[in-house]
Amino acid sequence: MSSALSTPQRILILPFEPYRDVATPELEDRIRAIKAEMGETLLILGHHYQQDEVIQFADLRGDSYKLSQLAAESETCRAIVFCGVHFMAETADILSRPEVEVYLPDMAAGCSMADMADLDAVEAAWADLGEVVDTDDLMPVTYINSSADLKAFCGRHGGIVCTSSNARAVLEWSFARRQRVLFFPDQHLGRNTARRMGIPLAAMCLWNPREPLGGNTPAALRDSRVLLWRGHCSVHQMFKPAHVAQFREKFPGIRVLVHPECMMSVVDAADLVGSTEFIIKTISEAPAGSTWAVGTELHLVNRLAAEHPDKMIHFLSPMVCMCATMYRIDLSHLAWSLENLAQGTPVNRIKVPDETSHWARVALERMLEVR
């Protein structure tokens, strides 16, 4: 027998480009076929902001942390395909069992907010702050919308992770242990939460990583309770107080419901403020015939309107505000990812380095202990 015949044929990775030209019905059929073939060993996670054509295939829906928690609880899956963005897939990898592998259909699906704070910039800020205040008395708190290495930074420095639903509890935990907090990457969630706790704006400093001492004086830093990183969500940044006023004028009695990543002036003008899960729960439990203007991502608001036709649900902004990076996960990428996985040539695995994973998990577990 020749050596050529005795050598196993190598299976090649399926290239992505041909998937762009496949019609939607065929893509859907092929995705269903893979799901049926892999059964409980495959878990597809779909974030609430995902487009409908993709989220229909999700085994579980939720916000970023809820999905990672649910994935960690699964005892049968061996592969997680996360229809979300990069930091979400990282968190799933950190919290899932060691034998579970996590994949992201498109590696370009990132998060502009998470990108506004990187490890080098945060470590530089920590060193600069150490020249002015005692960093042993400074608690680093990162929003879950951040990279794994920033979660690990918090873990190594005694800090913690928060979500939009437990930010207040996490800040209370932090202040019970240290005098001040460095909160990143979203300034608005930090500011809105701290104000509701009674912390005055005068005790908050905005840290601009491109300026010496973040653009603050040493005296202002020493007098601060909360240091807010200069970051924001590009979606929630689009909502303005004028939008709230316009809806109130057009629909007397309308209720305005917004996410705490919105700027302070919008939060102050709204009736209710809460996380994605809070928004969904509030709309679900609202009485029939009620009218709402909702300030969060477009796909979610449209889905809520479709699922609750007995209520009048409006998108708060006159402009399209969808999560553009989340939108990168489409049927073509999902089918490509699944078919490669099924044939044994997986693509786009998200694997957090062991050291980073350990310390990030420490910070996440501290959050889980907060009640």
Examine the domain organization and report whether 135 and 160 are in the same domain. yes
Adjacent-strand bridge partners of 140: 182
Examine the domain organization and report whether 80 and 122 are in the same domain. no
Residue 307 maps to a domain? yes
Which tens digits make up the pLDDT trace of 292-323?
999 998 889 999 999 999 999 999 987 665 56
Examine the domain organization and report whether 290 and 266 are in the same domain. yes
Q: At 204, phi and psi to the nearest 5? A: -115, 135
Categorise residue 253: left if φ over 0, alpha if ψ from -120 to 50, beta otherwise. Answer: left
Q: Angle CA(240)–CA(118)–CA(263) in degrees, nearest 5?
A: 15
Examine the domain organization and report whether 227 and 120 are in the same domain. yes
Adjacent-strand bridge partners of 206: 228
Examine the domain organization and report whether 257 and 339 are in the same domain. no
CATH number at residue 286: 3.40.50.10800
What range defines the domain where residue 37 resides?
11-110+327-351
Examine the domain organization and report whether 177 and 287 are in the same domain. no
Residue 359 maps to a domain? no
Adjacent-strand bridge partners of 229: 207
pLDDT the model gives residue 9: 61
Residue 291 pLDDT > 90, yes or no?
yes
Sheet of 204-207: strand order equals 160-162, 138-143, 180-184, 226-229, 204-207
Contacts with 179 (C-beta within 8 Å, 6 or more apart), sequence order: 137, 138, 225
Examine the domain organization and report whether 27 and 82 are in the same domain. yes
Q: How many domains does the chain have?
A: 3
Banded model confidence at residue 4, pLDDT cuts 50, 70, 90? very low
pLDDT the model gives residue 326: 62
Q: Looking at beta carbons, which pairs linking 55-64 to residues 24 or more positions away fall under 8 Å? A: 55/83, 55/303, 57/31, 57/32, 57/83, 57/334, 58/83, 62/277, 63/163, 63/164, 63/275, 63/276, 63/277, 64/88, 64/91, 64/144, 64/145, 64/163
Examine the domain organization and report whether 185 and 240 are in the same domain. no
Of 315, 336, 363, which residue sits at a domain end? 315
pLDDT the model gives residue 3: 38
Examine the domain organization and report whether 143 and 196 are in the same domain. yes
pTM of structure = 0.90
Examine the domain organization and report whether 118 and 228 are in the same domain. yes
Residue 320 maps to a domain? no
Residue 5 pLDDT > 50, yes or no?
no
Examine the domain organization and report whether 67 and 46 are in the same domain. yes
Q: Alpha carbon of 277 to those of 134, 163, 280, 300: distances in Å?
A: 37, 11, 5, 11
